[in-house]
Amino acid sequence: MLLERIDPLDQVLETHAAALGADFTAYRNHTYRVANLCVALAPAGDAALEQVALAAAFHDLGIWTARTFDYLPPSIELACGHLSCTGHADWRESIAGMIGEHHKIRRYRGAHAELIEPFRRADWIDVSLGLLSFGLPRARRQAIFAKWPNAGFHQRLAQLALKRIRTNPLSPLPVLKW
């Protein structure tokens, strides 16, 4: 079963639609793929699903709101501000963890690993265009990718990465973590 409408995710994206501009659909589809992949890897109850949805909405948003490819801190800051305003400050650690660790190359084993690790894997599945699977069946990955097409998201990431490499050759990809 696919999660076709996730209200908290859509509400955040609508709030930041102007910053996303022409990349709105590409980013929205990416967030829906990540949320669906995450839940496919580790089914979640309502509270956990809302946390995954919010982490998905904010996890790369700093690229557009702060206009930087070193976007993890601004993305976490946006998410924490949202959590404070919506009465979910108690979710800060788990959502900040999902955002801050989603580019970690190795397995995450710390606090809130039950949410952070599947979120990390989901983003890697999406960024690798499904080449990495973490055991998720091909048919499930294909269904998710078919429902929310790329819409230029990976091309945009490649453009931003190349720009970052040209302007910061000694720190080309600051978002990657071991």
pLDDT in tens, 113-139: 999 999 999 999 999 999 999 999 999
Spell out the domain ranges in the chain.
Answer: 7-167
- Are 62 and 78 within 8 A, CB to CB? yes
Q: What is the DSSP letter of 107?
A: P
Query: How big is the chain by its Cα radius of gyration, in Å?
Result: 15
d(CA 148, CA 37): 12
The DSSP annotation for 55-102 comes to HHHHTTTHHHHS--S--HHHHHHHHHHHHHHTT-GGGHHHHHHHHHHT
Collapse the DSSP code of 104 into the 3-class scheme (helix H, G, I; strand E, B; otherwise coil) and give the result. Answer: strand
| pLDDT at res. 44 | 77
Residues contacting residue 105 through CB under 8 Å, at least 6 positions apart: 176, 177, 178
d(CA 16, CA 74): 13
| pLDDT at res. 169 | 82
Average pLDDT over the chain reads 94
| pLDDT at res. 164 | 83
